[in-house]
Copies of this chain bind each other. A is one copy, B any other.
Amino acid sequence: MADKKPFAGVLSPVLTPFKKDLTPDSGRFVSHCRWLLEQGATGLAVFGTTSEANSLSVKERIELLEALITDDIDPKLLMPGTGCCALTDSVRLTAHAVRNGCGGVLMLPPFYYKGVSDDGLFANIAEVIERVGDGRLRIYLYHFPQMAVLSYSLDLVERLIKAYPTIVVGVKDSSGDWSNTEAMLKRFPGFDVFPGSEVFLLPALRGGGAGCITATANVNAAMVRNLYDNWQSPQADALQDEITALRKAIQGYPMIPALKQIIAHYRNDAAWATVRPPLVRLSEAQARSLIADLEQKKFALAA
Protein backbone atom coordinates (compact mmCIF):
# COMPACT_ATOMS: atom_id res chain seq x y z
CA MET A 1 0.00 0.00 0.00
CA ALA A 2 1.28 3.42 -0.97
CA ASP A 3 1.73 6.18 1.60
CA LYS A 4 -1.39 8.09 2.36
CA LYS A 5 0.50 11.33 1.73
CA PRO A 6 3.11 10.85 -0.90
CA PHE A 7 4.12 14.52 -1.38
CA ALA A 8 5.39 17.41 0.70
CA GLY A 9 7.66 20.34 -0.01
CA VAL A 10 8.30 22.05 -3.31
CA LEU A 11 6.80 20.60 -6.46
CA SER A 12 7.48 21.99 -9.90
CA PRO A 13 4.77 21.91 -12.57
CA VAL A 14 7.29 21.12 -15.28
CA LEU A 15 7.48 23.17 -18.50
CA THR A 16 7.17 21.06 -21.64
CA PRO A 17 9.86 21.85 -24.23
CA PHE A 18 8.95 21.57 -27.91
CA LYS A 19 11.02 20.96 -31.01
CA LYS A 20 10.82 23.32 -33.98
CA ASP A 21 7.97 21.25 -35.44
CA LEU A 22 6.10 21.68 -32.12
CA THR A 23 6.39 18.03 -31.14
CA PRO A 24 7.30 17.50 -27.48
CA ASP A 25 11.06 17.34 -26.94
CA SER A 26 11.40 14.39 -24.62
CA GLY A 27 15.19 14.71 -24.39
CA ARG A 28 15.09 18.27 -23.04
CA PHE A 29 12.05 17.31 -20.91
CA VAL A 30 13.84 14.48 -19.15
CA SER A 31 16.98 16.60 -18.63
CA HIS A 32 14.94 19.44 -17.19
CA CYS A 33 13.10 17.09 -14.81
CA ARG A 34 16.40 15.65 -13.63
CA TRP A 35 17.80 19.14 -13.08
CA LEU A 36 14.73 20.19 -11.09
CA LEU A 37 15.17 17.22 -8.75
CA GLU A 38 18.87 18.02 -8.37
CA GLN A 39 17.89 21.58 -7.49
CA GLY A 40 15.76 20.31 -4.65
CA ALA A 41 12.28 19.91 -6.09
CA THR A 42 10.61 17.26 -3.94
CA GLY A 43 8.24 16.26 -6.73
CA LEU A 44 7.34 16.97 -10.32
CA ALA A 45 3.82 18.04 -11.24
CA VAL A 46 4.25 17.21 -14.91
CA PHE A 47 1.33 18.09 -17.23
CA GLY A 48 -0.06 21.02 -15.34
CA THR A 49 -1.08 24.39 -16.73
CA THR A 50 2.55 25.50 -16.87
CA SER A 51 3.33 22.37 -18.87
CA GLU A 52 0.94 23.40 -21.65
CA ALA A 53 -0.57 19.98 -20.92
CA ASN A 54 -3.93 20.94 -22.30
CA SER A 55 -2.20 21.67 -25.60
CA LEU A 56 -0.99 18.04 -25.66
CA SER A 57 -2.90 14.97 -26.75
CA VAL A 58 -3.42 12.08 -24.35
CA LYS A 59 -0.89 10.05 -26.32
CA GLU A 60 1.73 12.80 -26.09
CA ARG A 61 1.30 12.93 -22.31
CA ILE A 62 1.58 9.17 -22.00
CA GLU A 63 4.74 9.08 -24.10
CA LEU A 64 6.39 11.88 -22.10
CA LEU A 65 5.55 10.19 -18.80
CA GLU A 66 6.98 6.92 -20.06
CA ALA A 67 10.12 8.72 -21.22
CA LEU A 68 10.71 9.92 -17.65
CA ILE A 69 10.20 6.50 -16.13
CA THR A 70 12.30 4.76 -18.76
CA ASP A 71 15.04 7.21 -17.89
CA ASP A 72 14.89 6.15 -14.24
CA ILE A 73 13.10 9.12 -12.77
CA ASP A 74 11.39 7.67 -9.70
CA PRO A 75 7.66 7.57 -10.51
CA LYS A 76 6.85 8.15 -6.83
CA LEU A 77 8.13 11.70 -7.37
CA LEU A 78 5.66 12.30 -10.20
CA MET A 79 2.25 13.95 -9.89
CA PRO A 80 1.03 14.08 -13.50
CA GLY A 81 -2.01 16.15 -14.40
CA THR A 82 -4.71 13.74 -15.51
CA GLY A 83 -7.96 15.71 -15.28
CA CYS A 84 -9.43 16.27 -18.75
CA CYS A 85 -12.72 17.44 -20.20
CA ALA A 86 -13.53 13.94 -21.38
CA LEU A 87 -14.28 11.38 -18.71
CA THR A 88 -12.64 8.64 -20.76
CA ASP A 89 -9.43 10.67 -21.13
CA SER A 90 -9.25 11.33 -17.39
CA VAL A 91 -9.73 7.63 -16.70
CA ARG A 92 -7.12 6.60 -19.23
CA LEU A 93 -4.45 9.02 -18.00
CA THR A 94 -5.17 8.38 -14.33
CA ALA A 95 -5.07 4.60 -14.73
CA HIS A 96 -1.83 4.90 -16.71
CA ALA A 97 -0.25 7.02 -13.98
CA VAL A 98 -1.26 4.64 -11.18
CA ARG A 99 -0.17 1.59 -13.13
CA ASN A 100 3.22 3.21 -13.60
CA GLY A 101 3.64 3.87 -9.90
CA CYS A 102 3.17 7.63 -9.87
CA GLY A 103 2.95 9.07 -6.37
CA GLY A 104 -0.28 10.86 -7.21
CA VAL A 105 -2.18 12.74 -9.87
CA LEU A 106 -3.28 16.36 -10.16
CA MET A 107 -6.92 16.55 -11.18
CA LEU A 108 -8.41 19.50 -13.02
CA PRO A 109 -12.20 19.45 -13.10
CA PRO A 110 -13.72 18.71 -16.54
CA PHE A 111 -13.51 22.31 -17.64
CA TYR A 112 -15.48 22.78 -20.85
CA TYR A 113 -19.08 22.85 -19.62
CA LYS A 114 -19.76 25.88 -17.45
CA GLY A 115 -22.45 26.24 -14.83
CA VAL A 116 -22.35 22.58 -13.91
CA SER A 117 -23.29 21.64 -10.37
CA ASP A 118 -21.18 20.27 -7.56
CA ASP A 119 -23.23 17.08 -8.03
CA GLY A 120 -21.96 16.83 -11.60
CA LEU A 121 -18.35 17.51 -10.65
CA PHE A 122 -18.56 15.01 -7.81
CA ALA A 123 -20.02 12.42 -10.18
CA ASN A 124 -17.21 13.02 -12.66
CA ILE A 125 -14.39 12.60 -10.12
CA ALA A 126 -16.16 9.65 -8.48
CA GLU A 127 -16.55 7.98 -11.87
CA VAL A 128 -12.81 8.39 -12.55
CA ILE A 129 -11.96 6.90 -9.14
CA GLU A 130 -14.36 3.96 -9.53
CA ARG A 131 -13.23 3.19 -13.06
CA VAL A 132 -9.54 3.33 -12.19
CA GLY A 133 -10.43 1.08 -9.25
CA ASP A 134 -6.97 1.03 -7.69
CA GLY A 135 -6.36 1.62 -3.99
CA ARG A 136 -2.95 3.10 -4.78
CA LEU A 137 -4.53 6.14 -6.44
CA ARG A 138 -3.83 9.47 -4.71
CA ILE A 139 -5.65 12.49 -6.09
CA TYR A 140 -4.70 16.12 -5.59
CA LEU A 141 -7.55 18.39 -6.65
CA TYR A 142 -6.40 21.17 -8.95
CA HIS A 143 -8.29 24.33 -8.05
CA PHE A 144 -7.58 27.02 -10.65
CA PRO A 145 -10.76 29.01 -11.26
CA GLN A 146 -9.06 31.68 -13.42
CA MET A 147 -8.14 29.06 -16.01
CA ALA A 148 -10.61 26.19 -15.57
CA VAL A 149 -13.48 28.53 -14.62
CA LEU A 150 -15.07 25.52 -12.89
CA SER A 151 -13.83 25.27 -9.36
CA TYR A 152 -13.70 22.98 -6.37
CA SER A 153 -15.89 24.63 -3.76
CA LEU A 154 -15.12 23.94 -0.12
CA ASP A 155 -18.29 21.88 0.14
CA LEU A 156 -17.31 19.80 -2.87
CA VAL A 157 -13.82 19.22 -1.46
CA GLU A 158 -15.37 18.06 1.81
CA ARG A 159 -17.71 15.70 0.02
CA LEU A 160 -14.86 14.17 -1.99
CA ILE A 161 -12.69 13.73 1.10
CA LYS A 162 -15.54 12.05 2.98
CA ALA A 163 -16.33 9.71 0.11
CA TYR A 164 -12.70 8.84 -0.71
CA PRO A 165 -10.60 9.63 2.37
CA THR A 166 -7.57 7.59 1.34
CA ILE A 167 -7.67 8.71 -2.31
CA VAL A 168 -8.55 12.41 -2.32
CA VAL A 169 -5.63 13.52 -0.18
CA GLY A 170 -4.74 17.04 -1.19
CA VAL A 171 -5.26 20.14 -3.28
CA LYS A 172 -3.26 22.56 -5.36
CA ASP A 173 -4.89 25.93 -4.77
CA SER A 174 -3.95 28.14 -7.71
CA SER A 175 -6.70 30.65 -7.02
CA GLY A 176 -4.14 33.15 -5.76
CA ASP A 177 -6.70 33.89 -3.07
CA TRP A 178 -5.05 33.39 0.30
CA SER A 179 -8.40 33.45 2.09
CA ASN A 180 -9.43 30.35 0.14
CA THR A 181 -6.15 28.57 0.93
CA GLU A 182 -6.54 29.51 4.58
CA ALA A 183 -10.13 28.28 4.64
CA MET A 184 -9.03 24.90 3.29
CA LEU A 185 -6.20 24.65 5.80
CA LYS A 186 -8.61 25.31 8.65
CA ARG A 187 -11.52 23.22 7.45
CA PHE A 188 -9.61 20.13 6.34
CA PRO A 189 -6.94 19.19 8.89
CA GLY A 190 -4.80 16.36 7.59
CA PHE A 191 -5.62 17.25 3.99
CA ASP A 192 -2.52 18.36 2.09
CA VAL A 193 -2.94 21.92 0.90
CA PHE A 194 -0.39 23.24 -1.60
CA PRO A 195 -0.78 26.85 -2.67
CA GLY A 196 -0.08 27.28 -6.38
CA SER A 197 2.50 29.99 -5.79
CA GLU A 198 5.60 30.22 -3.61
CA VAL A 199 4.38 33.69 -2.61
CA PHE A 200 2.19 31.85 -0.10
CA LEU A 201 4.72 29.21 0.95
CA LEU A 202 5.59 30.61 4.37
CA PRO A 203 2.02 31.48 5.44
CA ALA A 204 0.91 28.07 4.18
CA LEU A 205 3.56 26.23 6.18
CA ARG A 206 2.74 28.28 9.26
CA GLY A 207 -0.90 27.28 8.80
CA GLY A 208 -0.15 23.58 8.43
CA GLY A 209 0.21 23.45 4.63
CA ALA A 210 2.20 20.77 2.86
CA GLY A 211 4.42 23.00 0.70
CA CYS A 212 3.75 24.58 -2.66
CA ILE A 213 3.41 23.59 -6.31
CA THR A 214 4.71 26.53 -8.27
CA ALA A 215 5.57 27.33 -11.88
CA THR A 216 8.49 29.50 -10.83
CA ALA A 217 10.23 26.41 -9.45
CA ASN A 218 11.18 25.77 -13.07
CA VAL A 219 13.85 28.45 -12.66
CA ASN A 220 14.10 28.81 -8.89
CA ALA A 221 13.54 25.43 -7.22
CA ALA A 222 16.63 25.65 -5.01
CA MET A 223 15.68 28.89 -3.30
CA VAL A 224 12.07 27.85 -2.81
CA ARG A 225 13.28 24.58 -1.36
CA ASN A 226 15.65 26.49 0.92
CA LEU A 227 12.72 28.37 2.39
CA TYR A 228 10.80 25.11 2.80
CA ASP A 229 13.74 23.61 4.70
CA ASN A 230 14.21 26.70 6.90
CA TRP A 231 10.69 27.99 7.40
CA GLN A 232 11.05 27.93 11.18
CA SER A 233 14.39 29.76 11.13
CA PRO A 234 14.79 33.48 11.90
CA GLN A 235 15.64 34.05 8.21
CA ALA A 236 12.35 32.67 6.94
CA ASP A 237 10.66 36.00 6.27
CA ALA A 238 13.70 37.33 4.44
CA LEU A 239 13.87 34.17 2.31
CA GLN A 240 10.17 34.53 1.53
CA ASP A 241 10.68 38.16 0.49
CA GLU A 242 13.48 37.17 -1.85
CA ILE A 243 11.57 34.47 -3.71
CA THR A 244 8.44 36.64 -3.78
CA ALA A 245 10.41 39.46 -5.44
CA LEU A 246 11.55 37.12 -8.22
CA ARG A 247 8.01 35.83 -8.73
CA LYS A 248 6.67 39.36 -9.01
CA ALA A 249 9.31 40.29 -11.60
CA ILE A 250 8.33 37.33 -13.79
CA GLN A 251 4.59 37.84 -13.27
CA GLY A 252 4.79 41.07 -15.23
CA TYR A 253 5.02 38.87 -18.35
CA PRO A 254 2.90 36.00 -19.64
CA MET A 255 4.08 33.31 -17.23
CA ILE A 256 4.68 30.27 -19.44
CA PRO A 257 6.47 32.03 -22.32
CA ALA A 258 8.44 34.04 -19.77
CA LEU A 259 9.68 30.96 -17.92
CA LYS A 260 10.65 29.31 -21.21
CA GLN A 261 12.47 32.47 -22.28
CA ILE A 262 14.39 32.57 -18.99
CA ILE A 263 15.53 28.99 -19.48
CA ALA A 264 16.44 29.67 -23.12
CA HIS A 265 18.51 32.66 -22.02
CA TYR A 266 20.36 31.22 -19.02
CA ARG A 267 20.99 27.87 -20.68
CA ASN A 268 21.86 29.56 -23.95
CA ASP A 269 19.43 27.21 -25.65
CA ALA A 270 17.07 29.18 -27.90
CA ALA A 271 14.89 26.14 -28.65
CA TRP A 272 13.53 26.31 -25.11
CA ALA A 273 11.52 29.44 -25.95
CA THR A 274 9.15 27.51 -28.22
CA VAL A 275 5.49 27.33 -27.13
CA ARG A 276 2.50 25.68 -28.73
CA PRO A 277 -0.25 27.93 -30.06
CA PRO A 278 -2.51 29.39 -28.72
CA LEU A 279 0.36 30.53 -26.50
CA VAL A 280 2.77 32.98 -28.07
CA ARG A 281 6.45 33.37 -27.26
CA LEU A 282 7.64 36.68 -25.86
CA SER A 283 8.52 39.35 -28.39
CA GLU A 284 12.19 40.33 -28.71
CA ALA A 285 11.44 43.48 -26.75
CA GLN A 286 9.61 41.61 -23.98
CA ALA A 287 12.42 39.07 -23.77
CA ARG A 288 15.08 41.78 -23.43
CA SER A 289 13.04 43.62 -20.83
CA LEU A 290 12.40 40.45 -18.82
CA ILE A 291 16.06 39.51 -18.72
CA ALA A 292 16.97 43.08 -17.73
CA ASP A 293 14.39 42.93 -14.93
CA LEU A 294 16.02 39.76 -13.65
CA GLU A 295 19.59 41.02 -13.74
CA GLN A 296 19.56 42.31 -10.17
CA LYS A 297 17.71 39.23 -8.89
CA LYS A 298 19.32 36.17 -7.38
CA PHE A 299 17.74 32.86 -8.38
CA ALA A 300 18.62 29.25 -8.86
CA LEU A 301 18.88 29.05 -12.65
CA ALA A 302 21.06 32.18 -12.81
CA ALA A 303 23.35 30.99 -10.03
Contacts and interface: CB of A to CB of B under 8 A. Distances in A.
A244 interface: no
A55 B124 CA distance: 10
Interface string A274-300: 001111100000000000000000000
A277 B55 contact: no
How many copies altogether? Answer: 2
What is the interface of chain A mostly: helix, strand, loop, or mixed? loop
B22 A87 contact: yes
Contact of A111 (B49, B60, B112, B277): B112
A14 to B, nearest CB: 17
Contacts of A112: 49, 54-55, 111, 147-148
Contact of A277 (B57, B87, B254): B87
A113 to B, nearest CB: 6
Interface in A257-283: 276-280
A2 interface: no
Interface in A130-175: 146-150
Contacts of A278: 109-110, 113, 116-117, 120-121, 123-124, 150
